Amino acid sequence: MRTIESFELSGINTKKRLNDFSDKVTYEINNERVFDIPIISVTGTNGKTTTVRLIHTVLRRLGYISGLASTGGIFIGNDKIMDGDTTGFYSARKVLSNSKVEVAVLETARGGIIKKGLGYKKARVAVFTSISEDHIGMGGLNSIEDIIKIKTVIFDEIHPDGKIVCCNNPLLMESLKGRKRVCLFGIDFDYSMKKHKDMGYEGMFVENNYIIYFNNNKLTPIADIRELPFTHNGISKSNIKNVMATIMAVIEIYPNLTDIIDVIKTIKCDLSINAGRQNIIDMGKFNLVLDYGHNSESFIEVFNIVKSLNPKVITAIIGAAGDRQDKYIRELGYIATKYSDNIIIREQKDLRNRNIGESARLIMKGVMDNKDFDITKVKVIYKEEEALANCMKDAREGEFIVLFTQCLDSVIPVVNEFLESIGKEKLYR
């Protein structure tokens, strides 16, 4: 029996063995032993990438060789073996065919499911992070019901003893009926969460700043959200939910809740762990927030995080994915006016079949929908790097610049040039 080396962190000393997984089966194919690798599959509208990254990080720090396929590439343990948006069939297969991998963590996106299917069988855990109207009008999806139908495919491809971990959203409750093991997670202890608890099922919610875990009608406080740096010490509701999903997934692989919480307390939501998602960077007299947000739910979440940090000024640099419907692009401009003092409208490098300036004009219409917003506080700078450089040059004491970006490779050099000019250490990913 091959023993994996121990991993020590905050008093944790875990020793695990390859056959510790209750569902791990070995086969003989061409005289070689083939392992049935435990799979954690993650889907949803927002939070997929953050959740798989967090699960992967926790598993690694608990001593497992985790294989991750995600929007940010494929990773085997600490090593990145492929770059790009790797969330489909072939990416899953690449992880599962790697002989080093002990647990597979797969970001399972809508596009990949439609094009080729899941690329795996019988996941140990199926996680659904959130649901909203993003992607309506794309790939034959004409309603939120269509999106749910595609994404809940992961519920069907579950191990007989596996667990579904699902956000507490009324839109998803019908899809959970008749499922064997379901864990609900959410901020509020509302009617559906109470009903779930009273039926003896498993779940998590937040009460008095504590994550409360319940199972078999027993309520247990497990973590103070103010002690979790990944949640920005409790102000990021989305990351609180991502932490809950992570705990419920990892505990199926490593059944020691205390160790899992201890590891999560050491993880920050920074560029090294969760690049481009809720990264808050100290730039001296001002702060820079980098986030992948590209729909209304993510915009509102990030702006609320910034508001909680008591900024003197908020400057938003916003763009939109051109393949979204006009009304959703326009909505982003309106949302920005509700939170920002200044707005810079930019465009994506990939226009996604839009003409130059088309998305920017739609965002501007959204800004103008708010008659109370001072239109003189809006600029249009198409190039993202130029928009950011201008903002940083003019930034005031106590200002927060919020940049919604999908192009960190273009953004980080601009940030580093500014940091170098003021004598601060450069950023590294």
Rounded to whole angstroms, the maximal C-alpha distance in the chain is 73
Same domain membership, residue 47 and residue 22: yes
Give the Cα separation of 407 and 392 in Å (integer). Answer: 17
Higher pLDDT, residue 191 or 10? 191
Instruction: Pick the closest to residue 346 from 370, 322, 328 (CA basis).
Output: 322
In a domain, 429, yes or no: no
The answer on 220 and 320 residing in a single domain is no
Q: Do 87 and 105 fall into the same domain?
A: yes
pLDDT of the residue at 27: 44
**The last residue of a domain, from among 271, 288, 308:** 271
**Distance between CA atoms of residues 115 and 338, nearest Å:** 38
For residues 214 and 200, give the distance between their C-alpha atoms in angstroms, rounded to a whole number.
Answer: 9
Amino acid code (one letter) for 50: T
Mean pLDDT (the chain, rounded): 90
Check pLDDT > 50 for residue 3: no
pLDDT of residue 133: 75
* Residues of the chain above pLDDT 90, percent: 81
Is 260 found in the same domain as 347? no
Instruction: Using pLDDT thresholds of 50, 70 and 90, give the confidence band for residue 1.
Output: very low
Query: 214 and 285: one domain?
Result: no
For residue 428, is it within any domain? Answer: no
> Looking at this protein, which amino acid is placed at residue 24?
K
Are 288 and 256 within one domain? no
Q: What are phi and psi of 173, to 5 degrees?
A: -60, -35
Query: Is 253 a residue whose pLDDT tops 70?
Result: yes
Mean pLDDT of 412-421: 97
CATH number at residue 65: 3.40.1190.10
Q: Assess if residue 426 is contained within a domain.
A: no
- Is residue 84 domain-resident? yes
pLDDT band for 29, please (50, 70, 90 cuts): very low
- Has residue 427 been placed in a domain? no
Q: State pLDDT tens for residues 278-327.
A: 999 999 999 999 999 989 999 999 999 999 999 999 999 999 988 889 99
pTM, rounded to two decimals: 0.90
271, 303, 330 - which closes a domain: 271
Residues 394 and 364 in one domain: yes
Give the amino acid at 132. S
Does residue 244 sit in the same domain as residue 98? Answer: yes
Are 294 and 240 part of one and the same domain?
no
Spatial separation of the C-alpha atoms in residues 209 and 229, rounded to whole Å: 14
Average pLDDT of 390-400? 97
Cα separation, 387 vs 391, in Å, equals: 6
Is 2 inside any structural domain?
no
Distances (CA, A) of 379 to 153, 214, 346: 43, 49, 9
Shared domain check, 267 and 122? yes
Question: For residue 266, is it within any domain?
Answer: yes
Mean pLDDT of 121-132: 95
* Same domain, yes or no: 154 and 298: no
Give yes or no: residues 42 and 132 share one domain. Answer: yes
Spatial neighbors of 99 by CB under 8 A, at least 6 apart, are: none
Domain end marker among 222, 252, 271: 271
pLDDT band at 35 (very low <50, low <70, confident <90, very high): low
**What is the domain-level CATH number for residue 289?**
3.90.190.20
Burial class (CB in 10 A: 0-12, 13-18, 19+), 127: buried
Say what the pLDDT of residue 323 is: 82
Query: Is residue 290 a part of any domain in this protein?
Result: yes
Report the number of distinct structural domains present in the chain: 2
| pLDDT confidence of residue 298 | 95
The token pair at 221 is: 């406080």
Residue 389 — pLDDT band, cuts 50, 70, 90?
A: very high
Range of the domain at 410: 275-421
pLDDT of residue 88: 87
